[in-house]
Amino acid sequence: MSDDIDLEEIERRALTAYNEDGLLDIFIGGYLIFSGLKAFIQLEHRNILLSILPGLGVLLYREVKKLVTYPRIGYMKLTKERRARIARDSIIVILVAAFVTLTGLFTGMGAPENAPRWVLFLNKYNLIFQGVVLAFMFLPLLRPINTGLSCRVPLLRLTLHGHVAEHGHSVRDHRRSNGGMWSLTPSTLHRKVP
Amino acid sequence: MTLPSNKNLPSLNEIDRLIHEPARLLIMANLFVLEAADFLYLMNQTGLTFGNLSGHMTRLEEAGYIEVEKSFVDKRPNTRLSLTDAGRKAFEEYRKNMRGLLAGGV
């Protein structure tokens, strides 16, 4: 065989195969259009309708996927490891979203004048605070990237080390095998079929 | 055909010729990264034709490398394929032998 078979690439294609139909874009676009037309819709409880639309949209999306995409792409089942990782990442995203929403509510609602100084400070800069929290909370989802720089920042090293350790490689092994560089995906090292 | 082997290199005889065939290698590689996949999915991913995939699927099933389950999904026939433990082990062995062979300076 002259062409390499990259198992990582095959797995990636398995994950993206179901999302190439553009249905998600259509649904999100539809929701945005409805939000924009909200001002022209004379419905008594249009705000309530707008709030429940995402939930209805998710259910409809799944049914449309079954009707349109799966018969054309076919069915596949990911490995337990991959499913567990997706579930873990989804939980992290949901927790982060909930945390940011709660902090946003807490810091953006306005504070009385006699509130502690730190509360007033958070209220004043609540958007910056939320942005910083969001950025740091999503760090565990980052995959190691080849920056060409050695990782000297302790927090980033801890995060990347934690992720690399999940794949069963130590940070030192990783550096040694890549001449001191962080590789793009550690699993590629042992998954490439010559 | 038995090929002469160099004691310093893994023998070419150790390469599983059933898996080594490009189409079957693609099928095995796709099933290796998944728990199961159906016939249509494999056709799309490997680019093989219906008849081609069917033939290779039969060979692999006869060798005990894959398990084939036929069922119905929404009243449509569905053929589901998955690697057996023997198939997974054979694929890992194949990868190890190929890596050793090519690393030996061929």
Which residue of chain A comes nearest to B35, CA vs CA? A79
Distance from CA of A78 to the nearest CA of B (A): 5
Hey, are the CB atoms on B40 and A77 less than 8 Å from each other? no
Distance from CA of B33 to the nearest CA of A (A): 6
Hey, are the CB atoms on A7 and B33 less than 8 Å from each other? yes
Residue B39: the pLDDT is: 94
Residue B24: the pLDDT is: 95
Measured CA distances, A53 to A33, A59, B20 (Å)? 12, 10, 51
Hey, are the CB atoms on A79 and B37 less than 8 Å from each other? no
Contact A159, A135 (CB under 8 A): no
Residue A51: the pLDDT is: 67
Q: What length does chain A have? A: 194
Question: Is residue B104's pLDDT more than 70?
Answer: no
Residue A187: the pLDDT is: 35
Q: What DSSP character marks residue B9? A: S
Mean pLDDT computed over B76-100: 92
Name the B residues in 7-66 with CB < 8 Å from any A CB.
20, 22, 25-26, 29-30, 32-45
Q: Give dist(CA A3, CA A26) in Å, integer.
A: 36
Measured CA distances, A177 to A157, A186, B27, B83 (Å)? 17, 10, 30, 31
Residue A158: the pLDDT is: 42
Contact B64, B81 (CB under 8 A): no
Residue B61: the pLDDT is: 95
Phi, psi for B51 (deg, rounded to 5): -65, -40
From the CB of residue B95, how many other CB atoms can be counted at a distance below 10 Å?
A: 21
Which candidate, A34, A75, A83, places its Cα nearest to that of A54? A34
Q: Give dist(CA A77, CA B73) in Å, integer.
A: 14
Residue A46: the pLDDT is: 66
3 state DSSP class of B72:
strand
Residue B42: the pLDDT is: 94
Residue A167: the pLDDT is: 39
Q: Give dist(CA B57, CA B39) in Å, integer.
A: 9
pTM, two decimal places: 0.62
Which residue of chain A comes nearest to B33, CA vs CA? A11
Q: Quote the distance between the C-alpha of residue A71 and its chain's center.
A: 27
Q: Give dist(CA A8, CA A187) in Å, integer.
A: 7
Contact residues, chain B, for A193 at CB < 8 Å: 25, 29, 95, 98
Q: Give dist(CA B40, CA A177) in Å, integer.
A: 39
DSSP A65-80: IIIIIHHHH--EEE-H
Mean pLDDT computed over B31-57: 94
Hey, are the CB atoms on A11 and B33 less than 8 Å from each other? yes
Question: What is the overall mean pLDDT for chain B?
Answer: 86
CB pairs under 8 A between A and B: 67
Distance from CA of B73 to the nearest CA of A (A): 10
DSSP chain A: --S-EEHHHHHHHHHHHTTTT-HHHHHHHHHHHHHHHGGG---TTHHHHHHHHHHHHHHHHHHHIIIIIHHHH--EEE-HHHHHHHHHHHHHHHHHHHHHHHHHHHHHS---TTS-HHHHHHHHTHHHHHHHHHHHHTGGGPPP---SS----HHHHHHHHHHHHHTT--HHHHHHHTTTSPPS-HHHHHHEE-
Q: Give dist(CA A74, CA A69) in Å, integer.
A: 8
Q: Which stretches of chain A drop beneath a pLDDT of 70? A: 1-4, 39, 43-51, 100-101, 103-112, 134, 137-194
Q: Give dist(CA A131, CA A134) in Å, integer.
A: 5
Contact residues, chain A, for B34 at CB < 8 Å: 11, 14, 76-79
Nearest to B37 among A7, A74, A194 (CB): A74
Question: Is residue B76's pLDDT more than 60?
Answer: yes
Residue A125: the pLDDT is: 78
Residue B4: the pLDDT is: 55
Residue A108: the pLDDT is: 62
Residue B18: the pLDDT is: 92
Most B-contacting residue of A65, A83, A185, A193 (CB-CB within 10 A), to test interface: A193
Chain A residues with at least one Cβ partner in B under 8 Å:
1, 5, 7, 10-11, 13-14, 17, 66, 71-80, 193-194
Establish whether this prediction's ipTM goes over 0.90: no
